[in-house]
Structures are given as structure tokens and as C-alpha cells.
Chains A and B, each alone.
Chain A
Amino acid sequence: MKEQHNLLLWKAVFVLVLIGLGFGIYASSKSIDYTWRWERIPQYIISVEPKDIRSPFDGTVQSVDIKNHSMVVLPDQGGNPFVIKKFDKANVMSGDIVFEGDPLAQVNGWRVGPILWGLITTLKLSFVALIFAMIIGLFTGLARISDNPALRYFAITYVEIIRGTPLLVQIFIFYFFIGTILNLDRFTAGVAALSVFTGAYIAEIIRSGIQSIHPGQMEAARSVGMNYFQAMVYVILPQAFKRTLPPLAGQLINLIKDSSLVSVISITDLTKSGREVVSSTFAPFEVWFTVALMYLVLTGSLSWIIQKLEKRLSASD
């Protein structure tokens, strides 16, 4: 009973300290005259503002059909008319002269805001990089322990180069050098840099995982007629995978966080859209807290999935 009492006490201490910290942040922002404007943030996540449809050229409004919510604009220079099939509010009338960029009409409805776009981009970037990093890591890890010296040296060289240079520099090299030679777009260059970087670390994790499996496992597999490949796939790797799941999870979480660095090559990921939103809201504290929370949601979900997987694999323990 007493022990439970103590536990409760310490939990209360934890909560109190958190509240204290929150208050501290609030108080210190007061001391620098910061005005919190949380209400500005949601629209940058999901925007419900009507969106303008603008004229693509100088021209004349030929017709506005109020009933069907459609409109036709003819260009002064001739050519195809600009047709709006669906709008919610018209800003112009039939016969109006409009210039390029003039708002013609508005449409309602919710749209994905820049922060959510950033989140989606980060998710896509991390997911694709994760798949490639696992593939690269698996093959490099296998090459690292191969009997073939050429394979072994290639693997070692790759791993050492990647681990010995900063990711930021690798991203620049992938974008400006390799990207230019192979004509890669930003996203591909970013994915490639992240995959190659993370792959090197995963290779080491997989190598040590395989080497931690008792050699008797390989012998037993070979003694029942399996070839090297079958023994790897059905006996060694499943065991190694289970053993490497915790460090692998750490590496994949790092991948999500490292993906923020690709904003330097102008990929509008979560971090870059955060920067953009800050410059249009002048609410840096709110934006960066929101961005941090979104990264936490991503990394937290990944850790949760991996924990589930670990639990399922622990049936044989």
C-alpha cells in the first residue's frame, strides 16, 4: 500500500513539473512581449478560405452563368477561351474587361494547407527512403560478410564514406553533382541521399544481427539440404531481423528526423513549409511547436508499429 502511495506521489511530481515548465515558457514569452496567436495556425494546416480563380490573360468576360455557376472569358490576343466550370461567387460581370491575374471568381471548400502538405511530403520522402534504405542495407550487410573480397571491400568502402561525411554535404552532392549528371528532380535526389545515408547504417545493423546468430544455425540449415541462399532467407535473416528490430527502429526514426535536412535543396517538406508559414504569420513559436508535434506524431507512430511487430515476433521466446 505504501509503495503505491509513493508511486502516485512521483507521478504527481511529474505532472506538476510539466505544468511548471509550460508556465515557464508562457511567462518567458511574456517577458519578451510575445503575443500568442494560436488562432492563425489551423488555416495553415487545413484551409477553409475561399480560393480565388484568376484570369490567365488580358481579356473580356464573355458570359457569366449564375444558375450553373460557370463563366467564359475570351482573350484579347485570340486563342482558346478560359472556361470556369464551377464557382461559388463571381467577382465580375458579363462584358467586364479583365487583366491577367485579376480574380474572376471564388470557390469554397477545404484545402490542404501548407503545413499539412509539408507533413505529407515528409511522410512520402521518409517512406520511400525507408524502403530503399532497407534494401540497400540488406544487400550491403550481406556483402559485408560475404566470402568474396571484392564484395566485402565495396561494402566497407561505401559504409565508411557515408558514415564519415555529414548528411548535409551528401545531400548537396546528390543534388548538385549526381542530380545534375543524372538529371534528377529534387525529390528523387533527396530520397536518394537519405536512402544511401540510412542504408549504410542499416547495413552495419544487419551485419551485426547476422553475425550474432550462432553459426550452428547455418550448419543445421545446410545439413538439411538448404543452399546458402535458402539458409539465409528461411533461417538466418528471420532471426537476425527480430534481433535487430530495436536498433533498426532507432535508425528509421532518425531517418524521419534527418529528412528535415532536405529542405536545403528546396524540397517543401514539413520543416521548409514551417519556415514559409512563419514568414507569413509572424507566429514563429506557434509554428515551430506545431511542426515539432507533427514530427513527434510521425516518429511516435513508427515506434508504435515496430513495438507491435516486436510483440508479434516474441511468440517464440
Chain B
Amino acid sequence: MTKVSSNSIIVAENIEKIYPNNCHALKNVSLEVKRGEVVVIIGPSGSGKSTFLRTLNQLETISDGTIHIDDIDLTAKSTNINKMREEVGMVFQSFNLFPHKTALGNVMLSPLKVLKKSKADAEKEAHELLTKVGLANRMNSYPSHLSGGQQQRVAIARALAMKPKIMLFDEPTSALDPEMVGEVLDVMKSLASDGMTMVVVTHEMGFAREVADRVVFMEDGELVFEEQPDRFFDSPNPRLQRFLGQVL
């Protein structure tokens, strides 16, 4: 087993992912993330960003390589994946709120059923979280009655309710109308300033510049390049410049 430096909370080494249809989605990807660090991943569509993020909480198994989360080997047989997932929150592009539950119900569900908290405790914490993401007045609304931006903020609160050590965001603002992008990014910024470890896939270059400690560029299943944001965007790397030329 590799010796792991204790201030890295995510250590992914030489990850390979080959889907059953032989699509080689990740090629020898390695990434270390320190506690409290915010890492932004950018790259063209189909480059394996989602796949990589999903391997970090084992929604996707890996074909080869190792992943350690908080010094625990995810690929080891003895690792309790459900327990580990409690520590890694995830926010999806399409929100994936539970439509049969209210905002409050969405946030409370897992603390109640998985952490076996009392209803009073779970409700109190859910109240606090929803207030924190600015939805104090929409607690009892069903997702179908909320705007996209509000739904995504509920989704963030739902993930936070499990008190995760790491938050993964897979294009959290890509499905939103432009006027709602800001409210979600603001919540993410405040989370970052609270010291949360975050891995964010996004096309919001502004967010990357402002909040990221490190920006990673992926293409064709490879991690091409990583750099601090101030140097990242000025890098002469031709693959990166070609991509930036397309999106900016």
C-alpha cells in the first residue's frame, strides 16, 4: 500500500475506467486533493469529468488504480461503501431531488433513515441548512414548485445534512437559467470559505478564477494539466488554449 500524506483527503492514483461497452473513459488519471482545498475540473464534454467525479464516491467502480478517501482504501473489500458515501456529498447537474418529499423532507430523509437521528434533531438541522442556503421560506415546498436554482440549493443542503468531509459538484449550474446561476455559486462560495473540501466540475470560469485553489484540465479521459488559477488560464498548453478558445 502506498504511504499517504495525511493532509491529502483524496488520493486517486492511476485510475483507469473502461465501461462495459469498451469506452475507455479514464486513462491513468491521478489527483491529490488536500483538506479544505477547492479543485475545479474543466474540459470538453465527454472527456471523463463526470466519470472521474463519480468514481470518487463509487457510483462508478474503477477498472484499475487506487482511491483513498481520508486514508481509507475505497477498492478494499473491507471498506463499507455506504459509510464512505456519507462522508462524500454529491450535487448533480439535474438536481435529482426526491420529488415525493418536500424541501425539508429531502434534507431530513437520510439523517433520519441512515444516521437514525430523532425527528426533532433531523428537522432542526434541516431547518438550519435550508436557512443557510437561503430557503427558510420554502421548507415545505415540493421540488416541482421550486425554481431550478432553489432546487439545486436544496440539493446542496441535502448533501450537507450528512455532514460530509468532501463535496463533489458535477456541473451544478449547467441546467440552470442564467439568472439563477449566481445564487447557486454564492452558496458554493460560502461553503468554500467555510473550509469545505470541494471538487467541482464546471464551465463557470469566473468561479474557477475566484474560488479555486487549483484548476484541472481533462481531455479524452486524460488529466492533461493542473495549475493554480492565476497561472492556469495563461498557460500556453495548446490543448487547453484550443478548449478555452471554444468556450470563452
Contacts and interface: CB of A to CB of B under 8 A. Distances in A.
A232 to B, nearest CB: 12
A50 to B, nearest CB: 58
Nearest to A317: B144
B222 interface: no
Nearest to A226: B114
Interface stretch (A5-13, A51-59, A233-241, A283-291): A233-241
Interface stretch (A94-102, A137-145, A214-222): A214-222
Interface stretch (B92-100, B121-129, B207-215, B236-244): B92-100
B220 to A, nearest CB: 25
Nearest to A230: B113
B142 A225 contact: no
A223 to B, nearest CB: 4
Interface in B42-90: 57, 59, 82-83, 85-86, 88-90
A220 to B, nearest CB: 4
A221 to B, nearest CB: 8
A230 B109 CA distance: 10
Nearest to A225: B86
A316 B100 contact: yes
B162 interface: yes
Contacts of B98: 217, 220-221, 235, 239
Contacts of A219: 59, 90, 92, 96
A217 B95 CA distance: 9
A216 B100 contact: no
Contact of B114 (A220, A225, A316): A225
B85 A222 contact: yes
A242 interface: yes
A234 B158 CA distance: 15
Given A220-B92, A234-B109, A225 B83 contact: yes
A234 B162 CA distance: 16
B159 interface: yes
A214 B92 CA distance: 13
Contacts of B161: 224
A225 B85 contact: yes
Given A224-B114, A230-B113, A230-B114, A316 B142 contact: yes
B59 A222 contact: yes
B110 interface: yes
Most-contacted residue by chain A among B85, B86, B92, B142 (CB, 10 A): B85
B122 to A, nearest CB: 13
A31 B162 CA distance: 78
B96 A224 contact: no
A219 B93 CA distance: 12
A234 B108 CA distance: 12
Interface in A169-226: 214, 216-217, 219-226
B159 A234 contact: no
B110 A224 contact: yes
Interface string B148-163: 0000000100110110
A216 B90 CA distance: 12
A214 B98 CA distance: 11
A315 interface: yes
Contacts of B94: 214, 216
A266 interface: no
B82 A226 contact: yes
Most-contacted residue by chain A among B96, B155, B161 (CB, 10 A): B96
A223 B159 contact: yes
A227 B114 CA distance: 9
Contacts of A238: 100
Contacts of A313: 100
B101 interface: yes
Nearest to B158: A224
B109 A223 contact: no
Given A230-B114, A242-B100, A224 B59 contact: no
Name the 6 nearest CB pairs between A and B, nearest first: A225-B86, A220-B96, A216-B96, A224-B110, A223-B90, A316-B142
Interface of A: 214, 216-217, 219-227, 230, 234-235, 238-239, 242, 313, 315-317
17 contacts: A216-B92, A216-B94, A217-B98, A219-B59, A219-B96, A222-B82, A223-B85, A224-B85, A224-B162, A225-B85, A230-B113, A235-B98, A235-B109, A239-B98, A316-B144, A317-B142, A317-B144
Given A220-B97, A225-B110, A238-B100, 19 more contacts: A214-B96, A216-B92, A217-B98, A220-B90, A220-B155, A223-B59, A223-B89, A224-B85, A224-B86, A224-B114, A224-B161, A224-B162, A225-B85, A225-B115, A225-B162, A226-B114, A239-B98, A239-B99, A242-B100
